[in-house]
């Protein structure tokens, strides 16, 4: 049975397999070449769909980027929440959180690079960024609790949230650059150490 036939047969079931296919190709191209250096024609070509199909799912190029950003952020937040456990002590939860974060980074190098690269992108609207940010409410709560319990220094919540993100970004960069010989656990420990009261 030819592959094309098979695809036709499963067309209905793999609803928007096409869409995911496009997103995946876009992810690879965006991180390899950059957003502006990647023509939509290339995306559609490598995703084996026509430009028409691409337009059907994403009326414009920016939307591909934004959808990608959002889906990756959601995936990350979902993972973090899965690893979290309400019943554990805050400090443990904080640690788990960072650890899961690094694990995810380790398991999703491409997506990590994407987040790193497009965090500052002017092509992602404030709305989308906010929406992505809201996904991490749980983490916010953990940090809040940690401050309350004196695990983190008595500084504004905003300060800690930004620092968590910064340190994560820093760890990402280190891992990516391959310049460090520290193990993941050592990195987590070092990162956590910077955040904690002392």
Partner DNA sequence: ACCATCGGGACCTCCCGTTGGT
Partner DNA sequence: ACCAACGGGAGGTCCCGATGGT
**3-class SS string, the chain:** CCHHHHHHHHCCCCCCHHHHHHHHHHHHHHHHHCCCCCCHHHHHHHCCCCHHHHHHHCCCHHHHHHHHHHHHHHHHHHHHHHHCCCCCCHHHHHHHHHHHHHHHHHHCHHHHHHHHHHCCCCCCCHHHHHHHHHCCHHHHHHHHHHHHCCCECCCCHHHHHHHHHHHHHHHHHHHHHCCCCCCHHHHHHHHHHHHECC
Question: Please, which residue, 23 or 115, has the CB nearer to its own copies?
Answer: 115
Stretch that binds DNA, among 43-51, 76-84, 152-160, 189-197 (CB under 7 A): 43-51
Q: Which does 198 bind (CB under 5 to 8 A by kind): its own copies, DNA, none?
A: its own copies
Q: How many residues belong to the site for its own copies (CB under 8 A)?
A: 34
Residue 12 makes contact with DNA by CB under 7 A = yes
Site string for its own copies, 19-58 (x = CB under 8 A): --------------xx-xx---------------------
Site string for DNA, 62-91 (x = CB under 7 A): x-----------------------------
**Which residues lie near its own copies (CB under 8 A)?**
33-34, 36-37, 116-117, 119-120, 122-123, 153, 155-156, 158-159, 162-163, 165-167, 169-170, 173-174, 177, 179-182, 190, 193-195, 198
């Amino acid at each position: 049975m030819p592959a094309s036939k098979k695809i036709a047969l499963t067309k209905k079931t793999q609803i928007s397999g096409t869409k995911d296919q496009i997103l995946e190709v876009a992810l690879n191209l965006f991180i390899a070449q950059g957003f502006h250096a990647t023509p939509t024609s290339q995306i559609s070509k490598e995703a084996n769909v026509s430009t028409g199909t691409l337009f059907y799912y994403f009326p414009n190029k920016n939307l591909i980027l934004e959808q990608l950003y959002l889906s990756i952020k959601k995936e990350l937040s979902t993972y973090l929440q899965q690893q979290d456990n309400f019943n554990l002590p805050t400090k443990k939860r904080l640690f788990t959180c960072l650890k899961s974060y690094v694990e995810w980074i380790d398991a999703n190098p491409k997506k990590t690079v994407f987040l790193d690269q497009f965090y500052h992108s002017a092509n992602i609207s404030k709305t989308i960024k906010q929406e992505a940010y809201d996904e991490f409410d749980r983490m916010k709560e953990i940090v809040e609790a940690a401050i309350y319990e004196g695990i983190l220094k008595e500084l504004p919540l905003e300060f800690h949230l930004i620092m968590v993100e910064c340190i994560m970004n820093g760890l990402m960069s280190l891992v990516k650059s391959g310049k460090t010989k520290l193990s993941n656990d050592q990195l987590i420990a070092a990162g956590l150490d910077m955040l904690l009261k002392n």
